[in-house]
Amino acid sequence: MTHSTHPQLLAFIVGPFEYIEAYTSGEHNGSPVQVRVYTLPGAVEQGRYALGVCTQALEYFAKVFGIPYPLPKMDLVAIPDFEAGAMENWGLVTYRTIALLFDEKYSSIAFKKQVTYTVCHELAHQWFGNLVTMEWWDHLWLNEGFATWVGWLAADNLNPDWDVWTAFVDGDMPRALVLDSLRSSHPIEVAVCDPSEINQIFDAISYHKGASVIRMLSSWLGVDVFLAGVRRYLHRHKYGNASTGDLWNALGEEAGIDVGRFMQLWTKEIGYPVLNIATSDSGEVHISQSRYLSTGDLESHEDEVNWWVPLSVMTHNSSAVEPLTLTNKSQSFNLPADGLFKLNAGQTGVYRVNYPRETLLRLGEECKKGKNGLFKNTSDRVGLVADAGSLSVSGEQKTSAFLELVIQFENEDQYFHYLNRTTSSVWSQISGHLSSIISAWYEQPGHVLSAFKALRRHLFSPLAHKLGWEFPASEEYLTAMLRIVVIPNAGYGADKRIVAEAQDRFWRFVRDSDATAVHPNLRGIVYEIVLQHAKDEAEETGVWEAILRVFKDTSLPTDQRYIALSKLGDTKSQALVERLLGMTLDSEQIRQQDVIYAFRSLGSNMHARTYLWSFFSRNFDFFHERFVNSMKLFDILIKSSIDGFSDDARINEVEAFFVGKDTKEYDRSLRQAIEAARVNAKWVARDRADVEAWAEKINALGW
């Protein structure tokens, strides 16, 4: 029997490909499923890792979903010129080369994780999207949110030592919450009335907020009950279309509750709540919810949603998590007499928690107590940092409160050894928020930036020196990831030992052709540190030229070339910035699909972002015409050119530039970029004096 399918899932590919193949242990009509990875000639062995992931993931999904993969073959094809990261055509999944190919000897472990997840995400679509297709674009999240959550579920199954779900709390969830803190965000279920709107909703809301809401619901129902409901949903709607309501019905039937009643606001309304905590001497804790806006200027008409919120409370009184729920705009609860607790245990809930400053700092002290403290897993420590950092942006906490909190993590690795887990995600979260502050404060007095460098040295240098630069073959994945976080931060802090080591290794790598001098995991970091600490423009130009040669070397693995491209924008030299910008106009020098790497790098470089905006605005018509059929990429160019600003005058200039232009194709992305810049400007204006006072204290310590 031939079943109907959506026309967008049909693909044909013709080209001079090579392939390698394997077979699943599961069967389709009595025979194993044939799996092949196709590449251009000479690269096929770099598909070996993805081939193994694919066969295992197909078997895992067949077991989890209770429905075997319904086709006799699965082809994965690496394409050099491809707008999307990947596309889940049924039985023939297409990928950018960087999303599929991995060299076991020369690629980085961070890239290995990304290839694993991307392959699993696209294979999950064979069930979510292909076997059952969304009813209309309003329900895009049923495809993308589920494929994101299930993709990480499979990655966790294949690599349980990677601590995937803590990395999700550190990465995917913040991407969703940052975007959804803007007025210009959109609900998970968003009405699509014009074809131009479709590309603009393939974003962090449909993917990462969708996955975060699924994770929250699965945690509340229990993963086994949740997956049983998913199987019910897939069996009921296979080879057909479904809506969000169909999913809620299937889950509700399995769980014996009205899931839609609890969850509909999470998908139909924009935003998410912040829970404000007030304690009393009697031990009663008052919790109120309001919509979180990073601009910090919420108006009453924007705060009418009353979310159902699973609280999941951790206390000293019990090793178990107490499953409370907030069902009103405000409620009171009896919590421990010592007043110490953490909401959102495991960081599964999609919300922020705003503790009083004194409580926040007590929780920071609690992080120091190891097994005798309140915090029993890394996700809760990541969540504490994430909430405090975000609430400083909106003004619900002072930025100095966040900075005082992170200082308490100065010996984080020691305090957490009892779990035999390194805490790379905690350090990654701290690093990300420090980078956000420094990026927003980039035009502030020099003593402020000096204090941030001192803080980075104080926090990250001891671990960087302890871990060193080598990656032993027997080393745990999380230890390697920790090294990848702490060494660059020590370098950003101008740690003399780290900078000198990076420079020595760089020149051995590029002058002496010593491939072992810089491990693939650290090459991008070394490029950045050496560029930033060149003694003069002549040396900086020499470093930049050497990195450019790496990018142009087509014999290298794809990820290593793209790492080099993404670091060319880290230069302080105006001449080199302008040279890189000029290269983005020529597809012979930088492929059209790869221009985004240069723009992202320049947009995050405080020395380059004004040049980037000037260049982009002068060449706007050129880029718009060039990317007219690749608006997802054009959206990235817009955001990279705008959202790093924190000066109202420049933001006004941006707004004036677009007056009179037909922005329909990129309106949502433009509004989000401008609003993100306004958030930065308000943040700096609000907390400028607070941060300057903090900086004076730090500089006096002589770190």
Task: Report the pLDDT value the prediction gives residue 412, as an integer from 0 to 100.
Answer: 67
Pairing of strands 325-326, 352-354: unpaired
Q: What gap in Å lies between CA 506 and CA 546, rounded to an integer?
A: 10
Query: Which residue among 88, 122, 540, 665 is the active-site one?
Result: 122
Q: Which helix (H) or strand (E) holds 78?
A: strand 73-79
Q: Are residues 310 and 352 in the same domain?
A: yes
Task: Please report, for residues 184, 646, 686, the alpha-carbon distance to residue 652 in angstroms, rounded to integers and kept in the order given.
Answer: 17, 11, 19
Q: What gap in Å lies between CA 179 and CA 156, rounded to an integer?
A: 26
Q: Which residue, 256, 235, 258, 238, is CA-closest to 248?
A: 258
CA 74 to chain centre: 28
Q: Are residues 411 and 311 in the same domain?
A: yes
Task: Report the pLDDT value the prediction gives residue 637, as an integer from 0 to 100.
Answer: 98
Q: Which residues pair with 330 in a beta bridge?
A: 288
Task: Report the pLDDT value the prediction gives residue 338, as an integer from 0 to 100.
Answer: 67
Q: What gap in Å lies between CA 155 and CA 122, rounded to an integer?
A: 12
Q: For residue 662, what is the domain's CATH number?
A: 1.25.50.20
Q: Where are the alpha helices (DSSP H) in 493-552?
A: 496-510, 523-532, 537-552
Q: For residue 358, what is the domain's CATH number?
A: 2.60.40.1910
What's the 3-state SS for 218-282? Answer: HHHHCHHHHHHHHHHHHHHHCCEEECHHHHHHHHHHHHCCCHHHHHHHHHHCCCCEEEEEEECCC
Band the pLDDT of 420: cuts 50, 70, 90: very low
Q: What gap in Å lies between CA 49 and CA 21, rounded to an integer?
A: 11
Q: Are residues 27 and 164 in the same domain?
A: yes
> Does position 603 have pLDDT exceeding 90, yes or no?
yes
Q: What is the pLDDT of residues 633-692, one digit of tens each?
A: 999 999 999 999 999 999 999 999 999 999 999 999 999 999 999 999 999 999 999 999
The answer to whether residue 145 sits within a structural domain is yes
Q: Are residues 218 and 109 in the same domain?
A: yes
Q: What gap in Å lies between CA 551 and CA 515, rounded to an integer?
A: 15
Q: Is 144 annotated as a binding residue?
A: yes
Band the pLDDT of 419: cuts 50, 70, 90: very low
Task: Please report, for residues 88, 429, 552, 594, 665, the alpha-carbon distance to residue 85 in angstroms, rounded to integers and kept in the order given.
Answer: 10, 25, 21, 11, 20
Question: Left, alpha or beta for 529 (phi > 0: left; psi -120 to 50: alpha)?
Answer: alpha
Q: Are residues 232 and 296 in the same domain?
A: no
- Given 268, 303, 330, which residue is the final one in a domain? 268
Q: What is the pTM of this model?
A: 0.95
Q: Is 465 annotated as a binding residue?
A: no
Q: Are residues 279 and 239 in the same domain?
A: no
What's the 3-state SS for 651-692? Answer: HHHHHHHHCCCCCHHHHHHHHHHHHHHHHHHHHHHHHHHHHH
Q: Are residues 253 and 287 in the same domain?
A: no
Band the pLDDT of 311: cuts 50, 70, 90: very high
Q: Which token pair is 368?
A: 């120091």
> Does position 556 have pLDDT exceeding 60, yes or no?
yes
Q: Are residues 413 and 352 in the same domain?
A: yes
Residue 198, classed as helix, strand or coil, is coil
Q: Which residues pair with 95 in a beta bridge?
A: 78, 86
The answer to whether residue 559 sits within a structural domain is no
> Does position 119 have pLDDT exceeding 90, yes or no?
yes
For 674, the domain range is 569-703
Mean pLDDT of 341-356: 95
180-183, Cβ contacts within 8 angstroms, sequence gap of 24 or more: 180/204, 180/205, 180/209, 180/270, 180/271, 180/272, 181/271, 181/292, 181/293, 181/294, 181/390, 181/394, 182/293, 182/294, 182/295, 182/672, 182/675, 182/676, 182/679, 183/293, 183/295, 183/302, 183/675
CA atoms within 13 A on the CB side of 675: 20
Amino acid occupying residue 147: A
Q: What gap in Å lies between CA 69 and CA 28, rounded to an integer?
A: 7
Q: Is 470 annotated as a binding residue?
A: no
Q: Name the DSSP class of 349.
A: S
Buried b (16+ CB within 10 A) or exposed e, 350-387: bbbbbbeeebbbebbebbbeeeebbbbbbbbbbbbbbb
The answer to whether residue 546 sits within a structural domain is no
The answer to whether residue 459 sits within a structural domain is no
In the chain, how many domains are there?
3
Residues 392 and 691 sit within 8 Å (Cβ to Cβ):
no
Burial zone of 570 (CB within 10 Å; 0-12 exposed, 13-18 middle, 19+ buried): buried
Pairing of strands 31-39, 73-79: parallel
Q: Are residues 306 and 261 in the same domain?
A: no
Q: What gap in Å lies between CA 441 and CA 158, rounded to an integer?
A: 41
Q: Are residues 300 and 262 in the same domain?
A: no
The answer to whether residue 432 sits within a structural domain is yes
The answer to whether residue 561 sits within a structural domain is no
Residues 509 and 518 sit within 8 Å (Cβ to Cβ):
yes
Range of weakest confidence among 440-444, 491-495, 645-649: 440-444
Q: For residue 254, what is the domain's CATH number?
A: 1.10.390.10
Residues in contact with 34: Cβ distance below 8 Å, sequence separation at least 6, in sequence order:
21, 23, 72, 73, 74
Buried b (16+ CB within 10 A) or exposed e, 679-700: bbbbbbebbeeebbebbeebee
- Given 239, 268, 297, which residue is the final one in a domain? 268
The answer to whether residue 492 sits within a structural domain is no
Task: Report the pLDDT value the prediction gives residue 368, as an integer from 0 to 100.
Answer: 81
The answer to whether residue 506 sits within a structural domain is no
Q: Are residues 55 and 185 in the same domain?
A: yes
Band the pLDDT of 31: cuts 50, 70, 90: confident
Mean pLDDT of 444-471: 95
Q: What are the backbone angles phi and psi of residue 336, rounded to the nearest 5°?
A: -55, 150
Residues 610 and 579 sit within 8 Å (Cβ to Cβ):
no
Residues 141 and 188 sit within 8 Å (Cβ to Cβ):
yes
Range of weakest confidence among 194-208, 521-535, 619-633: 194-208
Rg, the chain, Cα only? 25
Residue with tokens 């421990």, as numbered in its chain: 336
Q: What gap in Å lies between CA 296 and CA 181, rounded to an integer?
A: 10
Q: Which token pair is 695?
A: 């900086």
Q: What is the pLDDT of residues 137-154, one digit of tens each?
A: 889 999 999 999 999 999
Q: Which residue, 265, 432, 413, 277, is CA-closest to 341?
A: 277
Mean pLDDT of 297-323: 88
- Given 419, 440, 461, which residue is the final one in a domain? 440
Residue 306, number of CB atoms within 10 A of its CB: 15
Mark whether 122 is an active-site residue: yes
Q: Are residues 245 and 156 in the same domain?
A: yes
Q: Which token pair is 215?
A: 């994770």
Q: Which token pair is 342?
A: 């953490």
